[in-house]
A and B are shown apart, each in its own frame.
Chain A
Amino acid sequence: MRSELLSYLTTATSSLAVKTVSELPWNTAGEPLHLKNMKKFYLDQDQIVQTTMIPTLDGTDVFENVLTVKGYFAVDAKNQPSGLSTALTTILSAISKTGVRNHGSESDYSTEIVDDVIIYTVDFRLNTTS
């Protein structure tokens, strides 16, 4: 799912207050990239939880795969960029775009204030079967 989200958001946010970058949110010198480079949106790797959706008698169980991708960006809490709400709406709506959407698509975000920085953590969730 990360690659599909990245493909869509790279274009969709290219002219917005928060721009999507292709790097993973790794740490540099003990500081996460999204804190070092504020107003850049970093997508983490896919996380998958597989559970049995339909057990069958012949061992061909149907599995539900819940794919989760987290994304992070940070902005200055004192001077929030204009167009932040537009960027957030665009990021959250990525889950419903062609090439990404699936049954049970969901997204939401939460915020955390650390010193003078607001960190936005966005969760994307997709359900697939296999």
Chain B
Amino acid sequence: MAYINVSGTGNFATLVVSTATITSSTATGVIALPSMQNVTLNNGNGVFRWKQLDSTSEKAISIAATNQVSMNIVLDDTTFFGSGVGVTAAGAGLFNLSNNKDLVHFRLYWSGVGVGADYVEGTGYFTGVSPTVSADQPLWVSPLSIEVVGEYTSGTQS
């Protein structure tokens, strides 16, 4: 047993997105979301319940899940607005990927991104982009979600 520690260099939790299938965190066109304050992966399995005359308790069966990855980030101009170079996630930036409703591939690394690092990946659409700034916190921050299309896939970085 080992706790999943994300506190040190080489162990950071990392979320990368791309408009193409992701092979590694450093593949061309991939955005590694910088300065995440938190990230939550939600696998909300649906449940259908029914009652039977021969049982004093409800029966249940799992049905299609609602999957979502949500986070809060401190906005970085390059990743938020894109580099403008190439037709990639890095070129488009997070705002344009959301605004254009582009389907993105994502991969959430749990602790580090090197060979052997565990991840969960999938595809989805950005939602919930709500950049905000205030005098008390004079930096742009925003919540951000990926509404996942279909299943997650877990794997290990090769």
Contacts and interface: CB of A to CB of B under 8 A. Distances in A.
Interface stretch (A19-27, A49-57, A113-121): A49-57
Which of B6, B35, B36, B141 has the most C-beta atoms of chain A within 10 angstroms of its own C-beta?
B35
Chain A at the B interface: SS class? loop
Interface residues of B, number: 17
Contacts of B14: 57-58
A59 interface: yes
A110 interface: no
B130 to A, nearest CB: 16
Given A103-B135, A129-B138, A129-B139, A55 B12 contact: no
A62 B9 contact: no
Nearest to A102: B138
Interface in A41-78: 53-60, 62
Interface string B111-141: 0000000000000000000000001011101
Contacts, number: 41
Nearest to A56: B35
B139 A57 contact: no
Contacts of B37: 54-57
B36 A62 contact: no
B38 interface: yes
A55 B139 CA distance: 13
Contacts of B138: 103, 129
B34 interface: yes
Given A62-B74, A103-B135, A129-B138, A56 B36 contact: yes
13 contacts: A54-B35, A54-B37, A54-B74, A54-B137, A56-B35, A56-B37, A57-B14, A57-B36, A58-B13, A58-B34, A58-B35, A59-B12, A60-B34
